[in-house]
Structure 1
Amino acid sequence: MEKTRILITDDNQEFCDILSKFLSKDDDFQVVGVARNGLEALDKIVEEEPD
């Protein structure tokens, strides 16, 4: 089964780091990127194609 590809978007870097580490421990998820705002997220969505 393929992993669910996740893009984390939040302006709090500490929160993003914690959430990324937490999700990376689960075999069902793959964090494909982190964005600090909506504009950055839109660019990363095109690049990384998260679910």
Structure 2
Amino acid sequence: MSQAELSELTSVTRQTINAIENEKYDPSLELAFKLAKVLRTTVDELFIYGRDSK
């Protein structure tokens, strides 16, 4: 799924999706749940707290 498609399905900008992917923005809890729902996963699986970034 493209950033544009994901942004449309979650009602945010493509730039927001890009910033989340690049760990430059932490989404709100509401957005985190929307992302998890669209991607058919859980918030826990999508966002692993304390994960090393590289």
- Settle same-fold status: TM greater than 0.5: no
Per the normalisation by structure 1, the TM-score is 0.29
More strand by share: 1
What is the TM-score when the length of structure 2 is the normalising length?
Answer: 0.28
Larger proportion of helix: 2
